[in-house]
Structures are given as C-alpha cells and as structure tokens.
A and B are shown apart, each in its own frame.
Chain A
C-alpha cells in the first residue's frame, strides 16, 4: 500500500516551510520532501529576512530563530570606476525590541524551520528528490514519485515549493522554461572576519547591522545589482545580473564578483576576511508578466517556483513565506468545508494572492523588468555620469558653481541627449507609479 497524506509539500525553502508549518499546526497530515542533505543545503539568500511575514506564522520566532544582526542602516551606492555616490538611511528606531529586518545565514534559518515543523507534528524528509508528479487519467495531480526505492507517495493536494528551477511544473507541462531576460544569476561569497572589525568599519554596535545595496559600473553595463551585508562574524558579498546579459556579454560571474571585491571602495571594507563558501543561485526577476499558472487540479505552486519576487526591493523570501501560508490556508479552508482540491476550488488561492501585497506589488512594477532590460543606459552611462557629476561638484577649484552645473548638464546630454534623459525619467516614473 502506498502511503497517503493530506498534502505533500515539495521543497524546504521559506515557501515550503511556511506551507508545511501552517498545515501541520492545523493538524493536517503533511509530508515535506527536500532533496538537500539537510534543509538549506541547496539554498542561497543574500540574505535579509523580513520579520513581518514570519511573525504572522510564528509570532514568537525571535525567541530562538538564529538571525545574525538586525538592520539599523541601509546604504544604496552607485559605484563608478573608483568612486561612489550614495545615500544612507539610519535610524535609532530600528533598535526596537522587535526589529523588522535581519541579516541571516540561510542554512541556519532553514534548519531552524525544520525544528519548528517537527514541533507541530509535520514530517520533513531530506535527501529525497521528487522526480515527477503523479497524475490520474483526468490529469489531476494525486501524488509524487521520488528517487527513493518504492518512492511513490499519494496526497489529496501537492504544493510545489521547489524554487526557481521549478523542474516539476516544467516537466509536467504546467510551466514554460524561464526566458533568459526573466531570470538573474547571482553569485556570492561569505567572508569570515573579527566582529570587532565589522563594528568598527561599519560604525555599528554588537547585534546592529548595515546593508549596502550596490549598482553601477561593477555590473559592466549589464542589468544587475550587488550587495554587501553584515552578519555577526562574517560579511556576505554578491552580485547578480540578468542571464540574457551574461549570455550576450563575455564576463563570467565569478570574475564580476572578484572585480567587485577589488573595487577601491569595497576592498577596505572586506580586507583581511577569509572566504569560506562560494555560492550561485538564480532569482526570478520577470515580475508580474512572468508569473505562470498558479494552480490546477490537485496542485498549487508557491514562492520562487511561482516567480514571486520583487527585484526592485530585493524581496523574495517574504513573498515565498506569504504565498506558502496562503496555499496552506486554502487547503485548510477547503478541507474544513468538505470541498475537493479541484482547480475551480483552488482558485481561492489565486484570490488570496490577488488581494495581498504579492500580486499588488508585482502588478505595480510590471513594466520595470522590460524597461531595465531595454534601457541599458541605467547601468552603463548613468553611473559614469552621476559619479563624474559628483566629482565635479565636490572638487573645490576656481570654477564658479554655475559653470559647474552647466558642465554637468552638458556631459549628461552628450551621453544621452535631452530627450533621452526626459524619456528615461518618464519611463522610470511610469514603471514604479
């Protein structure tokens, strides 16, 4: 006899964890399958974790969740060749007893989730790759096949939380392969360093954290961003660009990362740190228009596998947790009402998404991916011009300020024309309005 569950969740990232936990807590018989040696073994995040969504699922998570530092300062830097222009926002208000953003080491968080799931009676099994969805004659998903011996398992509903590659939905013909302009590839390293040095270099106290979001010349004209985050005893540094741009360029991602680490503005911050791991992972960045079919007879898809990612705000794990929770709540509600997991009943999941920040935000930014992709000046010409303008403005010499202003404008126009500049401003405003 093959075993049967109320629900099977594929994947132990934030989306699958939120779904499994929510289901198990309501007493449903749920099985979570993960291909990694342990939860987190396959996963990569910058990582900033947003408290709000986690709090909704586990209100007292702060008691034992292994976060790194709570973030009190956010910097946004535009790097030129040997300089940067930037903004900082720092506030003492972020030092509350319930901070809203933390830096994390992803493997620690995923393992912690595993313990929480066990505590509420969920069954999480690792070292098991799901190879295929099992469907009945009508096409309804009724279970999964795994690479374990006798690996067929049945369930009333299957939640695919298998991340950006989403192989299972693709294999089953429920989703197309992602276009290269809709996914970014990011590479990152973790660099261990004396916490005292972190505190000195970033001007923070123990437990306080700084995050730096980076754009500019370091992406070599490709559409992409970089980051430098402070953990307790380590720094994480990473960079990512659209795969379509990597494909048209000729700079391998690891070289881009190395150049970032050697940038004169970045190098002093990471000097003396010891690299302990190098990771790579894709990020779904196509936005609203790239969201696939989200449910069908016997199945739902959540998190990165559903392309839920807000690249403009570097949010992913929170959309993952929220969508996982909503899928689980849909299951709980249908079961309580004695309704089956048909496509028409599971449409309730889509309704929840539409009413939430997930679809609202993705919709708001729906034009942004296309604009970024089609307008490389945001990543090539502008960083040059803006840092040069700052250099001009802050160089004290005998040129009067009015002439300096003119020089700066002239230089912008030379690179981009007045109409080009105006057009870019309009495009950006439209895209984020």
Chain B
C-alpha cells in the first residue's frame, strides 16, 4: 500500500527564514539534467525541491530545502549541483529537530 502524500503539507509545518533571491543550491548545466537518465534528485530529495520540467530537464526550487545534502551526494557522478549552505541564520530553523 502506498499513500499519496503532499510533501508541501509536511513542509508547511516547518519554520524557514528565507533569504530572498539567494538560492544556496544551483543546477550548473541545464543540458546535463536533460541527458541525465534517472534524474534521481527528483525522487530522492526529501523536500521535493527538484521536479521534472517540460524541456526534459529539472527545475530546482530551494524554498522547502531541509539542507540535508542528499541531492549533492546523489548527483556526484554528474557533478551538476553547486551546493552550499545558506548564509548564517537563514534557511530551515528546526524548533524540535
């Protein structure tokens, strides 16, 4: 049995301090994603930040990012993700952790 889940509803509970227009993770080459066979980032990211787009590539929206690092590990063979932490104090701010 697999439930349909909206990850947005989960993320909605979290507290974020958003650093407007300063995404801390970036896709380096759009083309590399288009030729990436599995596009594993789209189903490995626990916050569903990566989604397949109409051009056959992947769109990244870091708003819900939990700063886990999984996408960087997943994409290391392609090396197509520039991964950094947000500026100090910004990003996810867990109340409980």
Q: Which A residues are in CB contact (< 8 Å) with B72?
A: 165, 177
**Residues A42 and B88 in contact, CB atoms below 8 Å apart:** no
A1-B83 Cα distance, complex, nearest whole Å:
32
With contact pairs A129-B87, A254-B48 given, residues A247 and B74 touching in the complex (Cβ less than 8 Å):
yes
Partner of A42, one of B3, B44, B83, B92: B92
Instruction: Indicate if B21 sits at the interface (CB-CB under 8 A).
Output: no
Q: Are the CB atoms of B88 and A105 closer together than 8 Å?
A: no
Query: Could you tell me the distance in whole angstroms from the C-beta of A222 to the nearest C-beta in chain B?
Result: 12
Report the separation of the CA atoms of residues A107 and B95 in the bound assembly, to the nearest whole angstrom. 6
A residues near B95, Cβ cutoff 8 Å: 107, 276-277
| B90 nearest CB across to chain A (Å) | 8
* Any A CB within 8 A of the CB of B60: no
Q: Tell me the smallest distance from the CB of A38 to a CB of chain B, in Å.
A: 8
**B5, B11, B48, B68: the one within 8 Å of A281 (CB):** B68
**Cβ contact within 8 Å between B74 and A277:** no
Q: Is the CB of A250 within 8 A of B43?
A: yes
Does A278 sit at the interface, judged by CB under 8 A? yes
Neighbour of B3 across the interface among A148, A250, A262, A281, CB < 8 A: A262
- Bin the interface of chain B by size: 35 or more
B55 in the interface, Cβ–Cβ < 8 Å?
A: no
* B88 close to A148 (CB less than 8 A): yes
Q: How many residues of A contact B (CB 8 A)?
A: 56
The listed residue (B2, B7, B69) touching A259 by CB distance below 8 A is B2
CB <8 Å contact, A129 and B86: yes
CB-defined contacts of A180 to chain B, threshold 8 Å: 73-74, 76
Contacts of A234 in B (CB 8 A): 96
CB contact list, A251-290 vs B, under 8 A = 251-255, 258-259, 262, 275-282
Q: Are B2 and A128 in contact (CB under 8 A)?
A: no
**Chain A residues within an 8 Å CB radius of B92:** 41-42
- Min CB–CB distance B14 → chain A (angstroms): 6
Q: Given A243-B73, A253-B44, are A280 and B88 neighbors across the interface (CB < 8 Å)?
A: no
Task: Collect the chain A residues with CB atoms within 8 Å of residue B43's CB.
Answer: 246, 249-252
- Determine the chain B residues whose CB is within 8 A of the CB of A178 once the complex forms: 73
Select which of A107, A128, A167, A252 is within 8 A of B94 by beta carbon. Answer: A107
Instruction: Using CB atoms, name the residue of chain B closest to A38.
Output: B93
Given contacts A42-B94, A107-B96, A127-B88, contact A37 B17 (CB under 8 A): yes
Cα of A208 to Cα of B88 in the assembled complex, Å = 38
Does A147 sit within 8 A of B, measured CB to CB? yes
B2: chain A residues at CB < 8 Å are 251, 255, 259
| Contacts A/B (CB < 8 Å), 29 sampled | A37-B89, A41-B93, A41-B94, A45-B97, A126-B89, A129-B88, A148-B88, A164-B69, A167-B83, A167-B85, A177-B76, A178-B73, A185-B68, A187-B46, A243-B44, A247-B44, A247-B74, A252-B43, A254-B46, A255-B2, A255-B3, A259-B1, A262-B3, A275-B13, A279-B66, A279-B94, A279-B97, A280-B47, A282-B70
Q: Which residues of B contact A (CB under 8 A)?
A: 1-3, 5, 7, 10-11, 13-14, 17, 38, 40, 43-48, 66-70, 72-74, 76, 83-89, 91-97
